[in-house]
A and B are shown apart, each in its own frame.
Chain A
Amino acid sequence: MTEKISEMMTETPIVEKAFDGKFKLQAKNVAVFYDDFQAIKNISMDIRSNSITAFIGPSGCGKSTFLRLFNRMNDYIDGFKVEGKIKIDDENIYKKKIHVEQLRKEVGMVFQKPNPFPKSIYDNVAYGLTIQGIKDKKLIDQRVEKALKQADLWSEVKDKLKKSALALSGGQQQRLCIARTLAVEPSILLMDEPTSALDPISTAKIEELIHQLKEEFTIIIVTHNMQQASRISDYTAFFYMGELIEFDKTKNIFTNPQKKQTENYITGRFG
């Protein structure tokens, strides 16, 4: 196994023409433990800004754990320990001095199940701003409207901003959660299977949305849906048993995978 990893790491990272050489997110020799269980085994990965990266792999392969490293959401799990380095804009986010709350304003997250707060639509989107201590009502109004427009929800809710968010449909709730995240104006978006609880129409809407958001954000999306990964992502990473098996341009992964395991997985032979 270690051979395989070192072999992988010697491969040159994917470089496009317009790339300035600076990666937005970098993981270096990252290992994660939950007490004695090793969930992530020595993974290194570089992700450039304004790209969409899909994490695929069977359940329990560590892709969600890896995703949640980037906004330190694993910190709350008992027995969690991380080794190696995770860098955002060249800064190690696991060093002592880092301000976790500040980090999470920079790295937004959308979860598997829509999880709006039992508050009004407006209060949901304004939540991230009010906890920052922003009092300027006009500014909050603007940011709420902007975020709802970005999430393609404004036209559906603009007349009922004071109504409870729980009255919205599942797809609307998930777009609300995206708007809530965007309102904080992060530069990175982490999405943990954001469409797995939604119907095909809502899914299509959110995929469309993710595509538009690429202009402004660096996006990582965990998905169980192969078609989704191939449709929306620029890069795809295949995880298996806590290891990064293959990481390449999505086109390459789906048309010409280098590893047998990857091929087996994307062709549906296991997982």
Chain B
Amino acid sequence: MNNLKKNKLIDSTFKIVGMLFTSLGILILIILLYNIIRAGYTRINWNFLISLPSRKPDIAGVYTAIIGTLDLMLLTIIFAIPVGVGAGIYLEEYSKKSKLSTILEINIANLAGVPSIIYGLLGLGIFVRFFGFGGSILSGSLTLSLLILPIIIVATREAIKAVPPSLKEASFALGASKWQTIQKVVLPSSFGGILTGIILSLSRAIGETAPLIVVGAMAYVPFVPHSIFDTFSVLPMQIFTWTTRPQAGFAIAAAGAIIVLLFITFIMNGIAVYFRNKWQKKLQ
């Protein structure tokens, strides 16, 4: 067999293998979704969404958990995005190369891999005890913010790094200051990448249970939180609790809650992807 034929064969083999792997991922997702929807679709109705949790599985709902999740995510977005993106911009554009900055970089990369329960303990020590916020939404969202900060910082830096230096030079050469260049050239060009990082990090935050258990999220919250200092529950917490209950009805309720959680995640990602695509189209 000559080289040309061999290369062609390798080419098509890789294409088929790649396609198989890709469809494997999608297949597993479909099976997962199918199983959950089959188990939980009977519970998906308006009453389930607006009912409070209960001892009786048939009337238990996810209202407080949904509101808790939404509140928690909103606060996490408010805390984590400005700090994370800001830190990313600073590290990439302003900080001078030094030993300290190298140590900082390595640490941030490592922080992205620390188990989430460790963040929970940190949150318990700092926010719940030291600052005295208690097991509140505030403590929970601050803890989740810490958890996703490294992901946002790393993603922001990578996105900024991908902006061609020639564009920055052009901006400087026209008399732009550093901040003007960041604002008008760097951020618009890296917006898509930064948004991708934010999507990934928020998707992680919305599914976290362990750190919130440590911080003090409740499994049974019979009221909707009125302030950021109130106790709260979130969907993953509710799901976790229900799956540990012996009654069969709670297993169905848990499946229903999973569907709701997935739905919220998809909506959240969908909005972000929509904005990213719209932005990229604008740039072309």
Could you list 10 examples of A-B contacts with CB < 8 Å?
Answer: A101-B175, A111-B169, A115-B170, A117-B170, A117-B185, A128-B175, A128-B176, A177-B170, A184-B174, A184-B175
User: In the bound complex, what is the Cα–Cα distance between A118 and B97 (angstroms)?
Assistant: 29
Task: Indicate whether A19 reaches chain B with its CB closer than 8 angstroms.
Answer: no
Q: Which residues of B does A touch, CB under 8 Å?
A: 97, 164, 166-167, 169-177, 180, 184-185, 188-189, 283-284
Q: Please name all residues of chain A whose beta carbon is closer than 8 Å to the beta carbon of B97 when the two chains form the complex.
A: 78
Q: Is the CB of B173 within 8 A of A118?
A: no
Q: Please name all residues of chain A whose beta carbon is closer than 8 Å to the beta carbon of B184 when the two chains form the complex.
A: 127, 131
8 A-B pairs with the lowest CB-CB distances in the bound complex, closest first = A128-B174, A115-B166, A109-B173, A104-B175, A105-B175, A118-B283, A131-B176, A115-B170
How far, in Å, is B10 (CB) from chain A's closest CB? 35
Q: Is the CB of B174 within 8 A of A180?
A: yes
Q: Which residues of A does B touch, CB under 8 Å?
A: 71, 73, 76, 78, 101-102, 104-105, 108-109, 111, 113, 115-119, 127-128, 131-132, 164, 166, 177, 180-181, 184
Q: Please name all residues of chain A whose beta carbon is closer than 8 Å to the beta carbon of B176 when the two chains form the complex.
A: 101, 127-128, 131
Q: Chain A: which residue is nearest B170 at the CB level?
A: A115
Q: Is the CB of B173 within 8 A of A71?
A: yes
User: In the bound complex, what is the Cα–Cα distance between A101 and B169 (angstroms)?
Assistant: 13
User: In the bound complex, what is the Cα–Cα distance between A127 and B185 (angstroms)?
Assistant: 10
Q: Main secondary structure on chain A at its contact with chain B?
A: mixed
Q: Chain B: which residue is nearest A116 at the CB level?
A: B170
Q: Please name all residues of chain A whose beta carbon is closer than 8 Å to the beta carbon of B177 when the two chains form the complex.
A: 101, 131
Q: Please name all residues of chain B whose beta carbon is closer than 8 Å to the beta carbon of A164 when the two chains form the complex.
A: 283-284
- The listed residue (A78, A113, A181) touching B173 by CB distance below 8 A is A181
Q: Is the CB of B169 within 8 A of A115?
A: yes
Q: Is the CB of A127 within 8 A of B171?
A: yes
How far, in Å, is B244 (CB) from chain A's closest CB? 52
- The listed residue (B170, B188, B284) touching A111 by CB distance below 8 A is B170
How far, in Å, is B192 (CB) from chain A's closest CB? 11
How far, in Å, is B155 (CB) from chain A's closest CB? 20
- The listed residue (B167, B170, B172, B175) touching A76 by CB distance below 8 A is B172
